Amino acid sequence: MMKTKGKNITNRTIPSVKRTNRYTQTLSQNGRRGFTLVEILIVVVILGVLAGIVVPQFSQASSQANLNTLLGNLQTVRSQIQLYKVQHYDLLPGQASFGGDVDEANFIAALTNDGAYVNKIPENLFISDAAHRGAITCINDAAATPTGDEGTGWWFNAANGDFRANSAKHITY
């Protein structure tokens, strides 16, 4: 015992408290720290479940965006066909005379001439063959309807001015 200004001080040591957890145990056992295989597998499974929930929503959103693009393109081309008719005395784009036939080349040339109506024929994104997404099947029969098997992005009937999407699921638009 030691005496300091009337107080007795004992020289005793306070036992140190060693805190342990599994990370320090792993450190002392292996010499390094890291994640266990089970922890990594749990994280991978959780990420897989989240991806399974999120990916279909993105897929549905892109399909809806493509449909909205298709409907917008239809509206644009149909309105430009009507504008062409008004400015050309009821002739359809590519028609030489009233009631005459229209072929694809003349139709496209009339609508895209110097960008007066459209800069180019838009693409139908629902056609798998990218080379034919902007192509047009021109028909000159009032009773004809598209089947969706023509292989072009668009369908135009010069007999009645009907312009439609030419993909199997969208021929009614």
Tens of pLDDT, residue by residue over 18-35, are: 555 555 555 555 556 788
- How much is the average pLDDT of 24-52? 80
The residue ranking higher by pLDDT, 60 or 17, is 60
Total Cβ atoms within 10 A of residue 82: 13
Given a cut of 80, whether residue 15 has pLDDT beyond it is no
In a domain, 135, yes or no: yes
pLDDT at residue 69, rounded to an integer: 92
Q: Is 75 helix (H, G, I), strand (E, B) or coil?
A: helix
Closest Cα to residue 169, out of 76, 79, 70, 57? 70
**Which residue matches tokens 């008004």?**
86
Closest Cα to residue 150, out of 169, 136, 163? 136
Q: How far is CA 149 from CA 40, 88, 129, 154, in A?
A: 50, 32, 12, 11
pLDDT at residue 147, rounded to an integer: 87
Average pLDDT value for the chain: 84
In a domain, 117, yes or no: yes
In a domain, 159, yes or no: yes
Give the pLDDT confidence of 77-93 residue by residue, as tens digits.
Answer: 999 999 999 999 899 99
In a domain, 51, yes or no: no
Give the pLDDT confidence of 105-148 residue by residue, as tens digits.
Answer: 999 999 998 788 999 999 999 998 999 999 999 999 989 988 88
pLDDT above 70 covers a percentage of the chain that reads 82
In a domain, 53, yes or no: no
In a domain, 21, yes or no: no
What count of Cα atoms within 13 Å lies in the side-chain half-sphere of residue 171?
15
**Which domain range does residue 92 map to?**
63-170
How many domains does the chain contain in total?
1
In a domain, 40, yes or no: no
